[in-house]
Chains A and B, each alone.
Chain A
Amino acid sequence: MAYATLAEDLKELHHPKTWVGKYVWSQDHKVIAVQYMITAIAIGMVALVLSDLMRMQIGFPGSLGFITPEKYYQFITIHGMIMVIYLLTALLLGGFGNFLIPLMLGARDMVFPFVNMLSYWVYLLSVLVLVASFFAPGGPTGAGWTLYPPQAILPGTPGRDWGIILMLASLAIFIVAFTMGGLNYVTTVLQARTRGMTLMRMPLSVWGIFVATILALLAFPALFVASVMMMLDRLLGTSFFMPSLVSQGQHLGYNGGSPILFQHLFWFFGHPEVYIVALPAFGIVSDLLSTHARKNIFGYRMMVWAIVIIGGLSFAVWAHHMYVSGMNPYFGFFFATSTLIIAVPTAIKVYNWVLTLWRGNIHFTVPMLFAIGFIFTFINGGLTGLFLGNVSVDVPLSGTYFVVAHFHMVMGVSPILVIFGAIYHWYPKITGRMWNDRLGKIHFWFTFIGTYLIYFPMHYLGLLGMPRRYYEYGHTAFIPDSAHMLNAFITVIALGVGASQLIFFYNMISSYFYGPKAPGNPWRATTLEWQTPTTPAPHGNWGPKLPVVYRWAYDYSVPGAPEDFIPQNVPAQGTDRHHKT
């Protein structure tokens, strides 16, 4: 049996005795999870402020005098980089991966707790190196988050002296950190599941995180080598990505490199990265919907296979980011086809979420509101992906605000809604306290409606033909004044959405101190993390004996059962009709 050795529970955990051992140099996956979450959200706040600053420049050009073109390009670059890598990836895998995997699988901890601890501290180092670039001479890099060479390392791009070096170093350090965490997640899922927890009984949250971690372990190395190669180009004058060129009148010594090679490496990482963020969100939202609709997830096996198939296909679609890059145009036929095929399993997931609501008993709790909000924004963002994935349709839209709107809707707003839902959902288990319901709902409405008002109209600026990454548009004949007014409107909403996040922080922090004590299983959920002996769960999670699993994760509203949920560790009762897995 795959789970035999570790689930035998022979190894004793070393319990730390000091405060520092418990909360700083902690090897407890739950503490590491919280460390990851707080760090990711803190650096995410920096990115949020940067986005508001750049929106001020777009909506009201010149209103903030200190935003020079140089600063503007630095802001957009660091905003994108933080949001994609240091917030979303770190929060979903480092944060929720750490918290949920051992608890949902009935393990005492990750398989390698010490490596897990190192993973967090190395991640923190990568964040600090990134932040350091703000204080370096010339500031952070302004090459755009895609860091395309040659411009990323040439004069004429902000942060060319120090910023780009620190950026590349930070990415490399992040990947080292992630690899330590990622190997842990995969090993734990494969080796440390408790008795009875077969792979096909795992909650979809774990499936999503598990497959995303495998993707990340395979995709990040491409970014790692690309970072190292660009660093060599910048520091040692190698020519991996640099052809011979004349930079601002100067003949440089580079010769024979290929800028497009970098794009292939970057997007070979970059497209799976979309699913590294999306798959955990898919998994988590499935569990939120099922729990709060009091109904089993519809088509569990199909959902698992869809996650696996999407993960596999995600490695065969990367060049849809490069249709107009100058690569051989015949690649377009292949990548358009593979990209549109990936829409089929993705659509199945959407159907199954909606069919989970169908004939459910829907409780409109705060986590549920966020989950439903996710379905709506994800449908929107997924469908616009069918424009951009379909090679010739992409040609007029590439590099415009249509792209900006699409990827913010699909991998900005959608996963963020899931993350908020997940934080509200698991907060009682993490802290032992309940948050304020009214504030949670206000936060939801501001965030959900606000982000939709920002990104839905933005698509049409892209259709009009407004290119992204413009410091200002000046007078351009085909851009009417109304488009600039729309940009001002979007900026106002964006500032409002940004400010409304203070409600969230107030709610989370004050509830931690003053919130009412939470019961162990406030949502009456079936999965193991809600069945811990105490809340918050102690170090080692389960007290003297590990739980034993008898059923799948979705026995809600089983006919004949006394309650509308049967936890996974409850043996068969004779009356209940549990799903055969």
Chain B
Amino acid sequence: MSFVFWILAAITVAGGLAAVTLKNTVHCALALTAAFAGLALMFLELDAQFAGFAQILVYIGAVAILLVFAILLTRGAEEKTEKSVFSRTWFTGLVIAAAVFAVLAWAVLHSGAALPDHAGLPGPAPQVTVAQIGNALMGRYVLPLEIVALLLTAAMIGAVLVAMHEKGEPK
């Protein structure tokens, strides 16, 4: 497609590859941040501005930092040279991933026959204003909104409880 799209796709896929193959865990987290940024830009390319900015704010601003904190707290950043970074069962995992990719790619490439004629061509870019998103959130999607709020509260309380120091245990 367009030139910008290929650059963004290259950044995202390279970031993803680096995130799962690098030896140093903190480097993996930073490569993941680059992949998130590439994805946010792809959202912007798809005219989904709200999703793109939410992706930057939530993923890069919070999830990436959370990952980095967890890596530092669990001493994942120290160099361990005697064992490989891949698990014993790495070959099976790779085969499964390749199989899944093959199925997905086949589905994507062969789906042209199943869709109606006008699919695959970009329609006019939807002019999504934030007012429309607000109306949608409060009108059509109010139930998912409330459930997500409940879920976030439960997740917050759960994370604090799980990671809290128990009484009497040495820190």
Is B one of A's binding partners? Answer: no
A interface vs B, CB < 8 Å?
A: none
Q: Residues of B with Cβ closer than 8 Å to A?
A: none
